[in-house]
């Protein structure tokens, strides 16, 4: 499982950081930064929550 983040459509709501702090961060303008694009299996639930809670649709999960 790989996380893809589209920084052009991110609106900086920060929901992903709150859902999965070890996986997502924000730059100084609040735009998403992926800290770990291949999350570990024990992070999968919180990463799926983060993707579901993203208001802009900037986050997606792809099979690698």
Partner 1 sequence: MSTTTHQDPPPVPRHMQRDRFAPLPETQAVRDEPGFPTFTTPFGATARLVTRYADVREVLGDAARFSNTGLPRLPTPDGEDGIDPRAGNLLATDPPEHTRLRRLLTGEFTVKRIRRLEPRITEIVDDHLDAMAAAGPPADLVGAFALPVPSLVICELLGVPYDDRAEFQGRAARQIDISRPLEERGRVAMESRAYMGELVDRARAEPGDDMLGMLIREHGDDITRSELVGIASLLLIAGHETTANMLGLGTLALLRAPDQLARVRDEPDAVAPAIEELLRYLSVVHSGVPRLVREDTEVGGVPVAAGELLVLSLPAANRDPAAVEHPDDLNVTRTIAPHVAFGHGVHHCLGAPLARAEMAVAFPALFRRFPTLAPGIPFEDVEFRSATVVHGLRALPVTW
Instruction: Count Cα atoms within 13 angstroms, Cβ side, for 28.
Output: 0
- Applying CB under 8 A, among 14, 36, 37, 40 the residue interacting with partner 1 is 14
Q: At closest approach, how far in Å is the CB of 47 from partner 1?
A: 14
Cα gap 42→55, rounded to integer Å: 24
- Applying CB under 8 A, among 1, 31, 43, 61 the residue interacting with partner 1 is 31
Size of residue set near partner 1 by CB under 8 A: 19
- Applying CB under 8 A, among 1, 43, 49, 61 the residue interacting with partner 1 is 49
CA distances (Å), 59 to each of 20, 26, 51, in order? 13, 13, 5
Nearest CB to partner 1, comparing residues 28 and 64: 28
Cα gap 9→1, rounded to integer Å: 21
């Amino acid at each position: 499982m790989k996380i893809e983040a589209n920084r052009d459509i991110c609106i900086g709501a920060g929901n992903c950081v709150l859902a999965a702090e070890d996986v997502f961060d924000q730059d100084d303008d609040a735009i998403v930064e992926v800290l770990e694009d291949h999350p570990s299996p024990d992070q999968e639930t919180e990463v799926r929550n983060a993707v579901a809670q993203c208001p802009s649709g900037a986050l997606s999960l792809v099979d690698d």
